[in-house]
Amino acid sequence: MSDYSSDENEDGYVLYRDRPEWKDVTPVAQDDGDHPVVAIDYTEAFKDCYDYFRAVVKNKEISERALELTKTATSLNPANYTVWQYRREILKGLNKDLEQELDYIQRMIVKQQKNYQVWHHRRVIVEWLQDPSKEKYLTSVALGLDAKNYHAWQHRQWVIKTFNLFEEELNYVELLLEEDVKNNSAWNQRYFVVNNTTGFTQEVLDKEIDYTLSQIQKLTENESAWNYLRGLLLHDKGGLGENKKITDFCEELYTNGSRSPFLLSLIVDMCYERAAGSKGDELYGLDRAKRLCKALAEEYDTIRAKYWVHMAETIEKRARGETVEEPGPSTD
């Protein structure tokens, strides 16, 4: 069970066993076996509600009272998949107004923003209605409460892609990044939108690089923006170290005294890319790579010191023409 605001906390709440309209139903107790390893101390209201829910499922009852019972059951345990599934069966069986169900589940989501089942139920109802008109607003409300809510972002991406609602999404993302430039979820959404609309053409790539560099300029310690830049470079035919705009930007930051581990890490990777057969490259050569790896290991990124020692050794082997295993990511 989770923390909740349920019917059992309301004044005048009546147990189902004491409700006249349920007298014809024999409750079904939960069977934990003769010797349960850990006996859960359910509240009286919880046990009562779920005993009657099991009876309803057993009897395959599709009725208004059964629908009301599922509402109580979800308020007591909103993560219970079986209750939500049976509620959907009742909604279909009674041909209920699904717009009312959307209103109900919206109230549930506001209380249970990080509960997978409430978002899944919402998705199913939207699919039945084929009406996504309220979803971007709902997710924006949820993200206003927690800008990194995984379930809200997942729902938003689903509805945008399913119903082709990409218009104005980049503007929304930029508003979020203005509020918090370190919002990794918003950066991820930016990539999602571009990848599913224009794609990373050279023109788009140039614009995205300009935007990202401007955000890094604001905060050089922002790992999210650096990661986004790396993602953009995967679409650049020249590779990490061949985009002059980016190399000039990095070198200017370095010359001006920035020792952001994300900046140094990118320069090291540029050195790795050029290492094979290019020991004479002064800017991105072996000597510089070893110096930066040492600085990262001993001063700027000590938590990954072993990685940087390994990276220095790997680049040296690569410079000698030896076959090396591709290094893993340098940041979490």
Q: Which residues are catalytic?
A: 114
How many beta carbons lie within 10 A of that of residue 59, not counting itself? 13
Environment class of residue 211 by beta-carbon count within 10 Å: exposed (0-12), middle (13-18) or buried (19+)? middle
Residues 6+ apart with CB under 8 A from 50: 30, 42, 73, 76
Whole-angstrom Cα distance, residue 65 to residue 19?
11
Whole-angstrom Cα distance, residue 134 to residue 42?
36
Contact criterion met (CB below 8 Å) for 294 and 311: no
Kindly list the distances between the CA atom of residue 308 and the CA atoms of 227, 254, 264, 277, in Å, as whole numbers in the listed order. 18, 19, 11, 21
- Unique residue bearing structure tokens 């939108």: 193
Contact criterion met (CB below 8 Å) for 132 and 126: yes
SS (H, E, C) 17-85: HHCHHHCCCCCCCCCCCCCCCCCCCCCHHHHHHHHHHHHHHHHCCCCHHHHHHHHHHHHHCCCCHHHHH
Whole-angstrom Cα distance, residue 119 to residue 95?
21
Whole-angstrom Cα distance, residue 318 to residue 179?
43
